[in-house]
Amino acid sequence: MRRIILICIISIAIVNVACPLLSDVISENMGDLESAAIETPQVATQVKYTRPHETIVYDVKMGELTVGEAVFDSTKTGQINGKVVNVVTLDTSLATFRDTETIYSDPDTFLPLKIERKIRSFIVEENIVETYDQNNYVLTIARLNGTAKKEETIKKDGVIHNAILLPYQARRERNLDLGWSLLVDLPNKKFQIELVSIEEVKVPAGTFNAYHFKSMPNLFEVWLTADERRVPVKIKGMDSVGYTLVMRKEALEAPPSPQEPLTISNLK
């Protein structure tokens, strides 16, 4: 059982760096995907999108075995340098592992501006802060592991996405037709997401008619409800470990008062 949990930890950690919605999904050993041939994505019509204030609880599964849960929360707003920003958190918990991410993003583009991440397990405790300069396509990553601190800078040739925020890119489209696609540029890789079908999907929260997206190369799959809300109900990794996140429950809340936005300091 310990071996299974360790494998799952590694898988989720990988997932947490590159997948769509929950904890980054796909790791540094995939860096060679930068040079993979990717088709030019379709140009789609986007509209002003108001982010729902929701909490979604997912079961983390490996095959039929439930090994933990992930809680996605978008009920807060915040401020960076006096500007109101979106705040979402993703808290992934396994038997001996916890990964908590707080993501601050632009309310218009849903591109990341800052990410604070805390990783805790029986073998590692690490704090990571990612600061995004989307105007100059630069990401600065600061890692603190015990007393050791490391900082690196990544320069890209375009805006930088975040895996957990990717569903918002589809949620803000006016129309989603089969073949819709999006070119994604994460800190360590590029890939394309395409809408391949509309189908029925069953998860613990119920049965839904859903948009089915696949990445190219084949790294993961995502299902969003085929209604105006487009809720992410299932995320499946296509690596050898085969993790899956399935929605167990969802709750909507009234938006917080616009007169009382939270700040970064009191969100920590």
In a domain, 265, yes or no: no
Which residue, 97, 108, 135, is CA-closest to 14? 97
Whether 56 and 248 have beta carbons less than 8 Å apart is answered as no
- pLDDT confidence of residue 145: 87
User: Residue 156 domain-assigned?
Assistant: yes
Residue 76 to residues 162, 201, 252, Cα–Cα distance (Å):
18, 29, 12
Whole-number pLDDT of residue 142: 97
**Residue 16 placed within a domain:** yes
pLDDT value at position 186? 95
Q: 39 and 194 in contact (C-beta within 8 Å)?
A: no
Q: Give the model's pLDDT for residue 266.
A: 39
Could you read off the pLDDT of 17-68 as tens digits, one per residue? 333 433 443 333 333 333 333 333 333 444 455 667 899 999 999 988 999 9
Range of the domain at 164: 2-247
pTM for the model: 0.77
Counted domains in the chain: 1
* Domain membership flag for residue 110: yes
Quick one: CA torsion of 213, 218, 220, 222, rounded to 10 degrees? 10
* Phi and psi at residue 241, to the nearest 5°: -75, -40
Q: How much is the pLDDT for 123?
A: 85
Report the alpha-carbon distance of residue 26 to residue 237 in Å, rounded: 8
257 within a domain of the structure (yes/no): no
**Which residues in the chain land under pLDDT 70?**
1-51, 240-241, 254-268
